[in-house]
A and B are shown apart, each in its own frame.
Chain A
Amino acid sequence: MKKHVWRPLWVVVVLVVIILLARWVYVPADFGVQDRGYTFGYHRLGNEKEWQAQTPRYQGNNYCADCHEEQTARLAGGSHLDFPCENCHSAAGEHPTKPEKLAIDRSRALCLRCHVKLFMPSSGRNTIPGIDPERHNGTGDCVDCHNPHKPNLEEM
Chain B
Amino acid sequence: MKRRDFLKHAAVFVSGVSVSLSALELIDPKEVLAANPDLRWGFLVDTYKCVGCGFCVKGCKIENDIPLEANVTRTWVERYVMTKNGEVLMDSPRGAQDGYTSKLIDHGASGKKLASDKEIAQAFFVPKLCNQCSTPACVQVCPVGATYQTADGVVLVDRKWCIGCGYCIMGCPYGVRFFHPVEHVADKCTFCYHRISNGKTTACVQACAFGARQIGNLRDPNDPVAKVVMKQRVGVLRDEYGTKPNVYYIGLNEEVR
Given known contacts A82-B209, A119-B120, A47 and B200 CB-to-CB distance under 8 angstroms: no
Assess whether B51 is in contact with A124, with CB atoms less than 8 Å apart: yes
Whole-angstrom distance between the alpha carbons of A40 and B140 in the complex?
6
Assess whether A123 is in contact with B47, with CB atoms less than 8 Å apart: yes
In the bound complex, residues from chain B placing their C-beta under 8 Å from that of A91 are 59, 62-63
- For this complex, into which size category does the number of interface residues on chain B fall? 35 or more
Q: Does B76 belong to the interface (CB within 8 Å)?
A: no
Assess whether B198 is in contact with A36, with CB atoms less than 8 Å apart: no
Whole-angstrom distance between the alpha carbons of A55 and B192 in the complex?
10
In the bound complex, residues from chain B placing their C-beta under 8 Å from that of A113 are 53-55, 98-101
Q: Does B71 belong to the interface (CB within 8 Å)?
A: no
Assess whether A120 is in contact with B124, with CB atoms less than 8 Å apart: yes
Q: Does A143 belong to the interface (CB within 8 Å)?
A: no
Whole-angstrom distance between the alpha carbons of A48 and B58 in the complex?
25
How many pairs of A and B residues are in contact by the CB < 8 Å rule? 152
In the bound complex, residues from chain B placing their C-beta under 8 Å from that of A152 are none
- A-contact 0/1 string along B238-256, CB 8 Å cutoff: 0000000000000100000
Name which of A60, A82, A125 has the most chain B CB atoms within 10 A of its CB: A125
Given known contacts A43-B145, A87-B207, A121 and B122 CB-to-CB distance under 8 angstroms: yes
Q: List 19 A-B contacts (CB under 8 A).
A: A31-B145, A35-B37, A39-B139, A44-B160, A48-B156, A51-B190, A51-B193, A51-B194, A56-B203, A60-B206, A84-B209, A86-B59, A113-B100, A119-B103, A121-B120, A121-B123, A122-B124, A123-B124, A128-B51
